[in-house]
Amino acid sequence: MNMMQMMKQAQNIQKRLKDTQEELANTEITGESAGGAVKVVCDGQGKFKSIKLLPEALNPENPSSVDAESLEMLEDLITTAITQASDKATAQMEEKMKSATGGLNIPGLF
């Protein structure tokens, strides 16, 4: 295999990696617990997108006692905390990977 073929193959792999990353970023995966009272959506890369709580999640014996505003506020608080932790983890991972690769940008690695 000559150098030109290797470069072309590397470019094809890089494009497939980019396409796959885009596809995963646009995929939504839902997890739920408590019979659907708590639903969490992540993208195909595992990044948190949203949370939805039903009144039954806060007060299973008397769901009608939970107002929509309280649910929305709790969803927002949880979303903010998860997003902040995820952003910090991503930044730390990228910093460690840059250190490990000597600053070399390897497509698809981070």
Number of independent structural domains in the chain:
1
DSSP string, 55-70: HHHH-TT-GGGS-HHH
Sign for the pseudo-dihedral over CA of 53, 49, 26, 31? negative
- Let me know if residue 52 belongs to a domain: yes
- Let me know if residue 34 belongs to a domain: yes
pLDDT at res. 81: 96
Whether the predicted pLDDT of 110 surpasses 80: no
- Let me know if residue 82 belongs to a domain: yes
- Give me the sheet containing 28-33, strands edge to edge: 28-33, 38-43, 48-53
Q: Among all chains, which residue has been given the structure tokens 């995966």?
A: 29
pLDDT tens figures, 25-79 = 999 999 999 999 999 999 998 899 999 999 999 999 999 999 999 999 999 999 9
pLDDT confidence bin for 103, thresholds 50/70/90 = low
Its pTM stands at 0.72
- Let me know if residue 59 belongs to a domain: yes
The CA-atom distances, in angstroms, between 11 and each of 2, 24, 74 are: 15, 20, 46
Taking the C-alpha atoms of residue 23 and residue 35, their distance in angstroms, rounded to an integer, is: 29
Residue pair 42/48 in contact (Cβ under 8 Å)? The answer is yes
- Let me know if residue 12 belongs to a domain: no
Q: Range of 78's domain?
A: 27-100
